[in-house]
Amino acid sequence: MHSMYCSRWLLLLLWCWTISVHAIPPRDPVQCNGTGCTVSNSYGPWGDRNDCHVKTVKYPATEEELRSAVAYANKNKLKLKVVSKFSHTIPKLVCPSSSDSLLISTAKYNSVIRIESNSTVTADAGVALRDLIDRVEKSGLSLVAAPYWEGVSVAGMITTGAHGSSWWGKGGAVHDHVVGISMIVPANESEGYAKVIQIGPQDQLLNAVKVSLGVLGVISKVKFLLEPEFKRSVTYNFTKDDLMEENFIEHGKKYEFGDITWYPSKHTTVYRYDNRVSISSPGDGVNDFLGFQSNEILISQSVRTSEKLFESTRSVTGHCTLAATTLSYKKLIGNGLKNNGLIFTGYPVVGRQGNMQTSGSCLYSPTTRLDASCAWDPRIKGLFFYESTAIFDIPKFGDFIKDVKRLRDIEPESFCGIDHYNGIMIRYIKASDAYLGQPKDSVVIDFNYYRADDASTPRLNEDVMEEIEQMAFFKYGARPHWGKNRNLAFTNVRTKYPNFNKFVAAKKQLDPENMLSGDWSDEILFGKGSVRSDGCALEGLCVCSEDRHCSPSKGYFCKPGLVYNEARVCRYSPSSSSNL
């Protein structure tokens, strides 16, 4: 009864997605009043729910203003952090831990985009990825790598190692296309308390500053390699998930921009066939990925309300219905590919690199109607979810998939909560010279899942998500994406990077007084500050070792994993008590 009702209702909701709506742009992550400022994340995992206060925020518009802001912080012995106009990074990296701090926003430092010799582009740190791409394409050139989400800044994206998907050429990580960085670092009084250093392609230091988590210095400008303009031809093949653990290598080799999305509860795998074609190939397609389109606020809220209902009534079926409906809708509309920029009419969809690599139409506002937004906008109380991203060495990935399949086969429905977001997305990254980049050719998975409004509320089947997470990071030694994940993913992260000590040495050289360090970035980089408080495992702040780390009062106890027995997860077992 219940699920049939939901099924029809949700289908209706999903159809509404196709109605074109106007969006409210994300709010400014920095909000100030007479007493001070608050910086928040655009998803809302911290900021609103977990405050980050700073005394002063500066908005430099030129390199000299940026330098003088750094000098001001150094002279006055303030801690310093930088945030972009987007603030899309999920860990609290941009939050200075001391209130005696300065925050620099790069929101207004975005005017210069300069193309050199038809082969490189240099942009101010705060330039939006979309503006960079549009400018480059207008000059008959293409930027080869970018994250799939375009709502990021030039400096912010390289700083956390953001990536698309490719094993070809220089690979899918944006920082591997960087050939120069200007960085502002603290200096002594006679040098004016801060100076600009130019780091070129031959400098060892470039390997440290390409992926820097914002702790080495303040990036002023970034120079990227470009290629002559090209188009791409994309086809999604929705098929069975057999043999995926064997096919993924060949797939990554065969398609320059291939990826795979796996919906375990549906035994479905979607292979993205995606190769470069000549600029003269017919087609003016656009990749307007469904998850990044504007949603009517009412719809995002209804989806959230139904998720909460499924959670409170323990309705696995509800989550599964939502997953099934979403998947068939994605198949119907080609995930948001549009052949002519307007609608999906069939494969392949051919379009310019600048329109196919990255998207985020929910970011833009024609201001005429204020009834839609990005689905996760914290102002509307829409979607709220975790985002786990694990990066594997190739030889380990097949076994990981086999383990996840074993876990899935025990109870496929327990994966519905992942599948109604975006399943498990699999992408490719090449080995990098960056000290905090991938030491080897790698495969990366992303999966999102429901997060409760309240940190102390356990979630349906959370034991399964926790087991996948622990399998990835502990059994298979996967590396966490620096810009996503829950804290436990960063446990012992320094042992996973062979050049970690070189990064620390560069930090000593550039920022000897630790002006750019803070508790939050230390927590990520050095795995510091792991708490073992009641309920810590629910939020991924710890791996449980006692029941109190879960939620015994709500029937969630600390139990071993089902496939990976060494895992310790919070499992619903209302009749049980502690017996590890």
Ligand X SMILES: *[C@@H]1O[C@H](CO)[C@@H](O)[C@H](O)[C@H]1NC(C)=O
Q: Which does 475 bind (CB under 5 to 8 A by kind): ligand FAD, ligand X, none?
A: none
Which DSSP string do the residues of 500-564 spell out, in sequence order? HHHHHHHHHHH-TT-TT--HHHHHHHS-------TTTTTTTSS--SSGGGSBGGGTEEEEE-SSS
CB 265 within 8 A of CB 413: yes
Q: Which stretch binds ligand FAD (CB under 6 A): 144-152, 238-246, 259-267, 407-415?
A: 144-152
Q: Which is nearer to ligand X, 425 or 478 (CB)?
A: 425
Does 37 bind ligand X (CB under 6 A)? Our answer is yes
- The distance from CA 270 to its chain's CA centroid, rounded to whole angstroms, is 20
Query: Under rule CB under 6 A, how many of the chain's residues touch ligand FAD?
Result: 32
Q: Which does 190 bind (CB under 5 to 8 A by kind): ligand FAD, ligand X, none?
A: ligand X
Q: Which is nearer to ligand X, 309 or 332 (CB)?
A: 332
Measured distance CA(129)–CA(141) in Å, rounded: 15
Residues 104-133 touching ligand FAD, rule: CB under 6 A, are 106, 125
CB 341 within 8 A of CB 286: yes
Neighbours of 205 (CB within 10 A): 18
Q: Calculate the alpha carbon distances from 398 to 164, 279, 388 in Å.
A: 21, 36, 19
Does 148 bind ligand FAD (CB under 6 A)? Our answer is yes
Q: Which of 17, 149, 257, 556 binds ligand FAD (CB under 6 A)?
A: 149
Does 84 bind ligand FAD (CB under 6 A)? Our answer is yes
Say which residues have a Cβ less than 8 Å from residue 228's Cβ, sequence separation at least 6: 118, 140, 141, 142, 279
Cα Dmax for the chain: 76
Q: Which of 68, 74, 89, 300 binds ligand FAD (CB under 6 A)?
A: 89
Q: Which is nearer to ligand X, 33 or 368 (CB)?
A: 33
Does 414 bind ligand FAD (CB under 6 A)? Our answer is no
**Minimum Å distance from CB 201 to ligand FAD?**
19
Residues 14-43 touching ligand FAD, rule: CB under 6 A, are 43
Does 512 bind ligand X (CB under 6 A)? Our answer is no
Question: x/- string (CB under 6 A) for ligand FAD, residues 166-205?
Answer: ----------------------------------------
Does 45 bind ligand FAD (CB under 6 A)? Our answer is no
Say which residues have a Cβ less than 8 Å from residue 459's Cβ, sequence separation at least 6: 311, 417, 449, 450, 451, 452, 465, 538
Measured distance CA(303)–CA(308) in Å, rounded: 9
Q: Which does 146 bind (CB under 5 to 8 A by kind): ligand FAD, ligand X, none?
A: none
Measured distance CA(530)–CA(243) in Å, rounded: 38
Say which residues have a Cβ less than 8 Å from residue 125's Cβ, sequence separation at least 6: 66, 82, 84, 106, 109, 153, 154, 155, 218, 219, 220, 221, 222
CB 270 within 8 A of CB 237: yes
Please list, residue by residue across 494-505, b when 16 or more beta carbons sit within 10 angstroms of its beta carbon and e when fewer do: eebbebbebbee
Strands 227-228 and 141-142, bridge-based pairing: antiparallel
Q: Which is nearer to ligand X, 34 or 282 (CB)?
A: 34
User: In sequence order, what E strands does 437-501 have?
Assistant: 442-450, 479-480
Does 83 bind ligand FAD (CB under 6 A)? Our answer is yes
Does 99 bind ligand X (CB under 6 A)? Our answer is no
Does 92 bind ligand FAD (CB under 6 A)? Our answer is no
Q: Which is nearer to ligand FAD, 151 or 561 (CB)?
A: 151
Q: Which is nearer to ligand X, 327 or 472 (CB)?
A: 327
Measured distance CA(42)–CA(376) in Å, rounded: 8
Does 211 bind ligand FAD (CB under 6 A)? Our answer is no
Q: Token digits for 412? A: 């496929």
Strands 268-277 and 53-54, bridge-based pairing: unpaired
Measured distance CA(403)–CA(89) in Å, rounded: 29
Does 98 bind ligand X (CB under 6 A)? Our answer is no
Q: Which is nearer to ligand X, 283 or 555 (CB)?
A: 283
Q: Which does 53 bind (CB under 5 to 8 A by kind): ligand FAD, ligand X, none?
A: ligand X
Does 433 bind ligand X (CB under 6 A)? Our answer is no
- Composition of the chain by helix, strand, coil, percent to 5: 35, 25, 45
Q: Which does 117 bind (CB under 5 to 8 A by kind): ligand X, ligand FAD, none?
A: ligand X
Does 35 bind ligand X (CB under 6 A)? Our answer is yes
Question: x/- string (CB under 6 A) for ligand X, residues 222-241?
Answer: ---------------x-x--
Q: Which does 155 bind (CB under 5 to 8 A by kind): ligand FAD, ligand X, none?
A: ligand FAD
Binding site for ligand X (CB under 6 A): 33, 35-38, 53, 117-118, 140, 188, 190-191, 237, 239
Q: Give the binding site for ligand FAD (CB under 6 A).
A: 43, 81-84, 86-89, 93-94, 106, 125, 147-149, 152-153, 155-157, 159-160, 162-163, 213-214, 218-219, 481, 483-484
